[in-house]
Every structure is written in C-alpha cells, then in structure tokens.
Amino acid sequence: MYTLGEIANIIDAELAGNANIEIIGIAPLSSAKHNQLSYINNNRYLDDLANTNAGAVIISKDVATKCKTNALIVDDVYLAFAAATNKFSNKTSYSSGIHHSAVTNNSTIAAGCNIEKNVTIGNDCNIGPNSFIGNNVVIGNNVHIGPNVCIFHRCIIGDNVEISSGSVIGSEGFGNARDDNNKWHTITHLGAVVIGDNVSIGANTTIDRGTIENTEIHSGVRIDNLVHIAHNVIIGQDCAIAGCTGIAGSTTLGKRCLIGGGVGILGHLEICDDAIINATTTVYKSITSPKTYTGIMPIMVHKQWQNVGLWLIKLDKIANYLNIKLKNLKEK
C-alpha cells in the first residue's frame, strides 16, 4: 500500500489531487475502485476515463484536463506505468513440499511437487511429479496435471481440466517500456490466468498472466502442444488451437474458432465466432465474418520464390501503370 504522494515520487509525476489517499493496487479504468490506480495511454479509452472510479490515473499532459479524479501527470505514461507495476508485484520466494495452509482434499499429489500458501485443490485431482502450484491458486475437481507443470500465483483452474507435462500457466507476460536512453523497463504483470471447465492443454504450452486484467481460457477449449498465448488474450468457448500457434497480447477469439498449426495472430485483434484459420496463416487484422481464412504462399524452390518476391514488391507500380493505361483508353 502506498500513498498517492509516494507513488508520484516513485514515477516522477506531477500530482494533481490528494497526496494522502492510499492506493492498494492497479486496475483498468473501467473497473478500478477508489483505492486503485489506473492509466490511460490511448485516446480510444477517453470514455472510460470520463466514467472511471479510480482513485488516481497516470496520464499525459494533453489529456490531464479530461481527468475528473486525482491525476499523476507524466511525459511517458507507459514508462511510468511500468515503474508503478513493480511496486505492486506479487512475486514471492518459493518453499518446498506442501505448505500447511494448502487444502488438497482427497487428491493425489506425486513426489517432488511444491504446493505454496493458500492453495485450494478440489476433489479427485491428480498432480504429476515435480509440478509447482503457486500461492492462492484455486484448482477445481477432477483436474489432471502432468509432470513438471508450473501454475503460478492466483491462477484459477476449473473442473475436468487436463494440463499436460511441461506446461506453464500464469508466466510473466512480455511487457516492456523503453526510456529515452533506449533501455528496457519490465512491466510486472499483476493479473492472472482463469481457465474454465473441460479444457485440455497440451504439453509445453505457455499461457501468460494478464497485465492488470486476467488472461481467459473459456470452457471447452482444446489447446495443442507448444502453443503460446500471451497476456490478456481471451479464448472463447469450445475453440480448438493446433500446435505451434502464437497469439499476441490482448487479442480475443470468439466461440468455436478453429486455429490450424503454426498460425500467428497479432495483438489487439478481434476474431469473430466460428472463424476457421488454416495452418501457418498470419492474422494481421480483425476477422468479422465466420469464414475459412488462408494467408500463406504455396511452396516453391527458393530461386522461384525470389522471382515472385520481386514481382510482389512491384505490384503497386504495376497497378498504377495499368490504371493510367485504362484511363487513356477510356479517354480515346
């Protein structure tokens, strides 16, 4: 817990408001409470700023006049946010064995497991050898966790979930802010991962925790081996995602989407219900119609690909040339 004045000093901010109010955490503008800090780094969230209940907002000078609550005014909002997250970090040291506060019911826990503080494990679960369960994790009933799985602090796992060996749930997301000297500053991710019921997660898959909100895997989802799901991603009910797919941060998949192997989905996109994306496609924009999508070039020998590539980068010039020719023909 910090006073707003203390936070202002930490992030080198100009304080407009009450320096004595106490801040216990960080939350999005839309859900922050009077004792929480938030931030705005994009004008598309101005409506959320107008309606926020946050105790204070990290904000730039050009938007500060629109802030109706306490403001921490900075030159670089994202960098200041990074510094603030590190002060509210939930990182803890690790122990060994099963902590006395953990509730394991009648579940089976194999040798070599670490079960940290205040963990709750439901009935008929099976935890494989050398797995790690972090502080305040909640695991439902009939959950099967393979060997060498890591589930980090505050993650929530529903009923009838299968997590195969080597998977990591709730790892730190890839968030960094760069200062004026081009040095990176880590953003501590304060959210968690919430997994619904009847979900299957393949071996060596990684699901990152959210920045300040949660990463969500809804009920009925099937995820293959070696999939990476980044911070704040939402996977809708009954989606299936094949191996080696990567989904960048803050993207939302609707219900029943089918994602082929090796697909790359960029961040901050919206994929509608029932979309099908074929293997190795790169998705660089939102999808609003439930069709089948393919974005790959057919295989060819390298020399041929070089020739094709030369034509591809000239397509705009070719199109302009043809438009001019077409215009001249019409004028004649």
pLDDT (tens digit, 9 = 90+) per residue, 169-214?
999 999 999 999 999 999 999 999 999 999 999 999 999 999 999 9
123 part of a folded domain: no
Asked if residue 11 lies in contact with residue 72, where contact means CB atoms within 8 angstroms, the answer is yes
Task: With respect to residue 273, please indicate whether it lies within any of the assigned structural domains.
Answer: no
AA letter at 125: C
For 277, the 3-state DSSP assignment is strand
Structural domain range at position 51: 2-87
Q: Is residue 259 part of a domain?
A: no
User: Residue range 216-239: average pLDDT?
Assistant: 98
Residue 49 carries which DSSP code? H
Q: Which of 67, 87, 107 is the last residue of a domain?
A: 87
The CA-based angle 66-186-68, given to 5 degrees, is 15
Annotated catalytic residue, options 153, 189, 228, 231: 231
pTM of the model as a whole: 0.90
How far from the centroid of its chain's Cα atoms is residue 159's Cα? 22
Distance CA 65, CA 77 (A): 15
Q: What angle do CA 116, 117, 121 make, to 5 degrees?
A: 75
Q: Are 148 and 129 in contact (CB under 8 A)?
A: yes
d(CA 186, CA 210): 14
Cβ pair 146, 169 in contact under 8 A: no
For tokens 């409470």, what's the residue? 33
In a domain, residue 48? The reply is: yes
| Helix, strand, coil in percent for the chain, rounding step 5 | 15, 25, 55
Residue 11 in domain: yes
Q: Is residue 80 part of a domain?
A: yes
Q: Is 307 exposed, middle or buried (0-12, 13-18, 19+ CB in 10 A)?
A: exposed
* pLDDT tens digits along 147-174: 999 999 999 999 999 999 999 999 999 9
Location of structure tokens 């403001």 = 71
pLDDT value, residue 332: 66
Gap between the Cα atoms of 15 and 231, Å rounded: 30
Model confidence pLDDT, tens digit, residues 15-74: 999 999 999 999 999 999 999 999 998 888 899 999 999 999 999 999 999 999 999 999
Distance separating alpha carbons of residues 194 and 125, to the nearest angstrom: 18
Question: CA 189 to CA 89: how far, in whole Å?
Answer: 8
Annotated active-site residue 231? The verdict is yes
Domain-located, residue 129: no
Asked whether residue 140 is assigned to any structural domain, the reply reads no
How many domains would you assign to the chain?
2
Give the CATH number, domain containing residue 36.
Answer: 3.40.1390.10
Half-sphere exposure (Cβ direction) of 251: Cα atoms closer than 13 Å: 21
Of 87, 114, 132, the residue that ends a domain is 87
Q: Which two tokens stand for residue 85?
A: 């997250």
Please identify, among 33, 64, 87, the residue that sits at the C-terminal boundary of a domain. 87
